């Protein structure tokens, strides 16, 4: 039995107050708070062995190299990768998705398939690849409730399709895509699948082997880890076939100089994708975050968030002038709710009121998902507000949020 109050004690930021009120942090879909365990792991690097990994053979160099390698092992275990060298450190999921979009080999005449529900990072790198190389691209529209018609996928993914990029869990509607079915359709037709797991991985068990995805992109800052850290998972056969996104130090086994020519010999994955000095503290913090989440249990976290989401949705559906984006079925979505208030000019006004009057922190804007907002007739300048729940939230947080939202509705009539 998880003691959720004890979990809250692990997060120093929750001890803060705004205008005399304890903060209610409901913006974890953007950036999660960090537990003391992650902070301590990163501080250990800076205090005990703040040196270069993989280059220096002295004691501090060996210690950071070992900690860096162990962090990779932890992340590989977190997503159940087949092997550690299928996991590449990146700055974030955006960089991970760009690596695939720019570097995966595609023949002329290929087609890319993505959706109207993607975060910009899951669509724009592939839009630009199609534009650069004169490739075809097709958009599978999401329904208004954020779900997909699997028949539309069967129509879109044809014999010319070589890449399918799909958000596993939407950062707007919270809905979870039918990824197993999409992967099966794509593989049957000779295409690979790139899964944007930035919103899925922090809240649900993620098993890349069971899903059989070809690539998966994660942002560590959304899963209790440090900012500036992400992960790209790729099946090893794909990683070996791809050119590097960046080249330079730490990517080479040797660089010969012969007859006036420089001839590089590159290392295998993951090193060939990790050019230059790495964020060792960030990687160590990522490993600590994976340890932390697994120690609680991803199924436990999933169930806890759904209880909080159900409590929020029940009341919000009864509020005048509040409209919810996406399905209200908690079994097909992760723990966030995106909404608008008809009597308030913009989502930023909603977020400002909740912050200033109730110390409730939500996201406002178009959430880097403009196409879906346009699809639903919501100009990005108006946007929507989003409350996202995580393992450190409790029923009191939900109730304060609902109290603030109801107060805003009444004040804006």
pLDDT of 335 > 90? The answer is yes
Angle between helices 93-103 and 120-133 (to 10 degrees): 20
pLDDT band at residue 228 under the 50/70/90 scheme: very high
Residues 323 and 221 both lie in one domain: no
Nearest to 280 by CA among 223, 224, 228, 222: 228
Q: Which of 273, 294, 315 is the last residue of a domain?
A: 294
Q: Residue 247 has what pLDDT?
A: 92
Q: Is residue 19 very low, low, confident or very high in pLDDT (cuts 50, 70, 90)?
A: confident
For CA atoms 304, 310, 311, 313, the dihedral sign is positive
Query: What is the Cα 303 distance to its own chain's centre?
Result: 19
pLDDT per position as a tens digit, 282-312: 999 999 999 999 999 999 999 999 999 999 9
Which tens digits make up the pLDDT trace of 125-138? 999 999 999 999 99
Q: Are residues 196 and 334 in the same domain?
A: no
pLDDT at position 189 is: 98
Q: Write down the pLDDT at residue 245.
A: 81
- Please give the pLDDT value at position 1: 86
- Residue 182, domain CATH: 3.40.640.10
DSSP per-residue codes, 44-103:
HHHHH--S-SSS--SHHHHHHHHHHHHHHHHHHHHHT-SSGGGEEEESSHHHHHHHHHHH
pLDDT for 56: 87
Task: For residues 280 and 306, state if they share a domain.
Answer: no
Q: Identify whether residues 72 and 212 lie together within a single domain.
A: yes
Residues 272-282: what's their mean pLDDT? 95
Digit-coded pLDDT (tens) for 188-216? 999 999 999 999 999 999 999 999 999 99
pLDDT over threshold 90, residue 69: yes
> Whole-prediction pTM value?
0.97
Range of the domain at 129: 38-294
State what percent of residues in the chain have pLDDT above 70.
100
Per-residue pLDDT reduced to its tens digit, 340-388: 999 998 999 999 999 999 999 999 999 999 999 999 999 999 999 999 9
In the predicted structure, residue 393 carries a pLDDT above the cut 90: yes
Element counts in the chain: helices (H) and strands (E)? 14, 17
Q: Band of the pLDDT at 225, cuts 50, 70, 90?
A: very high
For residues 105-120, average pLDDT? 97
The count of residues in the chain is 413
Same structural domain, 289 and 305: no
Task: Look at residues 246, 261, 294 and tell me which one is the last residue of a structural domain.
Answer: 294
What is the rounded CA–CA span in Å between residue 346 and residue 123?
A: 26
| Same domain? 260 vs 317 | no
pLDDT confidence tier of residue 55, bands split at 50, 70 and 90:
confident
Please give the pLDDT value at position 89.
98
Catalytic residue status for 87: no
Higher pLDDT, 413 or 97: 97
Does 259 score more than 90 pLDDT? yes
Please state, in angstroms and as integers, the Cα–Cα distance from residue 57 to each residue in 26, 54, 60, 85, 87, following that order: 45, 8, 8, 22, 24
pLDDT value, residue 178 = 97
**CATH code, domain with 316:** 3.90.1150.10
**Mean pLDDT throughout 150-179?**
98
Same domain, 270 and 139: yes
Task: Write out the E strands in 107-260.
Answer: 111-115, 136-140, 161-167, 192-196, 215-219, 230-234, 252-258
Report the pLDDT averaged over residues 29-52.
98
Does 310 share its domain with 277? no
- Ordered alpha helix ranges (H), 243-324: 280-296, 298-316
The catalytic residue among 30, 52, 87, 368 is 368
Q: Other C-beta atoms within 10 Å of 298: how many?
A: 17
79 and 196 housed in the same domain: yes
Same-domain check for residues 120 and 234: yes
Residues 200 and 343 occupy one common structural domain: no
Q: Which of 294, 316, 351 is the last residue of a domain?
A: 294
Structural domain count of the chain: 2
Given a cut of 90, is residue 160 above it in pLDDT?
A: yes
265 plus 323 within the same structural domain: no
């Amino acid at each position: 039995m998880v003691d959720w109050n004890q979990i809250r004690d692990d997060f120093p930021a929750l001890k803060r107050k705004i205008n005399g009120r304890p903060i209610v942090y409901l913006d974890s879909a953007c950036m999660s708070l960090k537990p003391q365990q992650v902070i301590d792991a990163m501080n250990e690097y800076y205090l005990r062995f703040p040196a270069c990994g993989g280059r220096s053979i002295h004691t501090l160099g060996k210690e950071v190299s070992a900690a860096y390698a162990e962090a990779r092992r932890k992340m590989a275990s977190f997503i159940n990768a087949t092997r550690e060298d299928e996991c590449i450190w990146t700055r974030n999921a955006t960089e991970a998705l760009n690596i695939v979009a720019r570097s995966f080999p595609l023949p002329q005449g290929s087609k890319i398939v993505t959706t109207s529900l993607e975060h910009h990072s899951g669509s724009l790198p592939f839009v630009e690849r199609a534009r650069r190389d004169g490739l075809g691209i097709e958009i599978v529209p999401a329904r208004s409730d954020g779900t997909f018609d699997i028949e539309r996928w069967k129509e879109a993914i044809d014999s010319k399709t070589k890449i399918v990029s799909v958000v596993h869990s939407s950062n707007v509607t919270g809905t979870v895509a039918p990824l197993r079915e999409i992967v099966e359709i794509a593989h049957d037709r000779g295409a690979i699948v790139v899964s944007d797991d930035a919103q899925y991985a922090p809240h649900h068990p993620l098993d890349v082997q069971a899903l059989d995805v070809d690539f998966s992109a994660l942002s560590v800052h959304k899963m209790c880890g440090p900012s500036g850290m992400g992960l790209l998972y790729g099946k090893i056969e794909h990683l070996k076939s791809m050119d590097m996104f960046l080249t330079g130090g730490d990517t080479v086994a040797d660089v010969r100089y012969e007859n006036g020519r420089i001839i590089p010999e590159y290392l295998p994955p993951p090193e060939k994708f990790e050019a230059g000095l790495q964020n060792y503290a960030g990687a160590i913090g990522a490993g600590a975050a994976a340890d932390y989440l697994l120690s609680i249990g991803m199924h436990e976290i999933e169930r806890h968030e759904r209880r909080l989401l159900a409590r929020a949705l029940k009341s919000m559906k009864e509020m005048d002038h509040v409209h919810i984006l996406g399905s209200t079925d908690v079994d097909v979505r992760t723990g966030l709710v995106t909404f608008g208030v008809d009597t308030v000019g913009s989502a930023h006004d909603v977020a400002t009121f909740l912050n200033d009057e109730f110390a409730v922190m939500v996201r406002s804007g178009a959430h880097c998902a403009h196409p879906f907002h346009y699809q639903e007739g919501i100009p990005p300048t108006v946007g929507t507000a989003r409350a996202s729940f995580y393992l450190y939230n409790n029923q009191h947080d939900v109730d304060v949020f609902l109290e603030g939202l109801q107060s805003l509705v009444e004040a804006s009539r």
